[in-house]
Amino acid sequence: MTNNYIYFIANWKMFGFKNAVNHLNKVITLCKTKKYSKAKIVYCPPYTILSDLCRKIKKTKIDIGAQNCHEANDFGASTGSINSKMIKDAGAKYVILGHSENRSSGESSYLINKKIKSALSEKLKIIFCIGENLEQRKKKQTIKILKNQILKGLKNVKNIKNIFFAYEPIWSIGTGRILEIKQLERDIYLLNKFIVNKYKSNDIKILYGGSVNPKNINDLKNVKLINGFLIGKASQNQNKLIDIIKKTFN
Ligand code: PGA
């Protein structure tokens, strides 16, 4: 892990009522201890409880993110949508964009690019998801797919300071299956190399996502060039999230 912080991005997906704020209590306590001072936790709840969580984490080091946003950063006639200005207004600092669950329901790289630009203009930090499906992996197209998603998603984006590259093999999300660690390390190495060459930056943040849990974290935490994790299912259970954080720092 090259970066200062280790990031734990909790993607709650379509889960959580208002009382989910209480699920943060133990994590808030954990974050206060010196041992975990380098753990940066970002909760990404559904829109409906974004403000509740923002209020809850005030005066802590925890941050809040949204799970998507509309591509326009102005108000408009778009039923059911939320733009990056509104996300910021709610108190969130991050937004997840390009998640495969949204790509699979029709979100194109062109649209993701517009969303990224809109969110950047509001100074939000972007959890930019990229990843291959199983067929593409079998055909050894992984790196080509990742490069293509990056080039299209970040078209005309020059500064990647606020971009977190979240590598999530699609076939690994929610399945309990992860890549063999050596293979993952190699893919991350190639991904990092491409980003370094393309953006001439030393400040590159790469996250891994896909079935991160308390059982596999001891292996995953040793993968070089990873700055943290995008965690779905396991992050909805505060004891599991705490277990993941503790094991990462052990
Ligand atoms: P998972 O989800 O941890 O449940 O696999 C990760 C994600 O979709 O971001």
Secondary structure of residue 130 in the 3-state scheme: strand
Q: For 35-82, write each residue's pLDDT tens digit.
A: 999 999 999 999 999 999 999 999 999 999 999 999 998 999 999 999
Residue found by looking up tokens 């990224």 in the block = 116
- How many angstroms separate the alpha carbon of residue 46 from the centre of ligand 1? 15
Per-residue pLDDT tens digits for 76-112 = 999 999 999 999 999 999 999 999 999 999 999 999 9
CA 74 to chain centre: 24
Phi, psi of 41 (to 5 degrees): -105, 130
Which candidate in 70, 71, 99, 101 is catalytic?
A: 99
**Nearest of 43, 30, 94, 45 to residue 245 by alpha carbon:** 30
Averaged pLDDT for residues 116-128 = 98
| CA max distance for the chain | 50
- Closest ligand 1 atom to residue 211 Cα is 5
The alpha carbons of the chain give a radius of gyration, in whole angstroms, of 17
Residue from 233, 240, 243, 244 to probe ligand 1 pocket by mutation (most atoms less than 8 Å from CB): 233
Distance 231 CA to ligand 1 centre (A): 5
Residue 68 tokens, joined: 């998507």
Whether residue 168 lies in the annotated active site: yes
Rounded CA gap, 30 and 62, in Å?
A: 11
The answer to whether residue 71 is catalytic is no
pLDDT at 4: 87
What pLDDT digit, counting tens, does each position of 178-195 carry?
A: 999 999 999 999 999 999
Confidence band of 9 (pLDDT split at 50, 70, 90): very high
Nearest-CA residue for ligand 1 atom 1 is 232
Give me the mean pLDDT over the 233-245 stretch. 97
Residue nearest to atom 9 of ligand 1 (CA): 232
Strand partners for 43 = 10, 64
Residue 96 tokens read as 């997840």
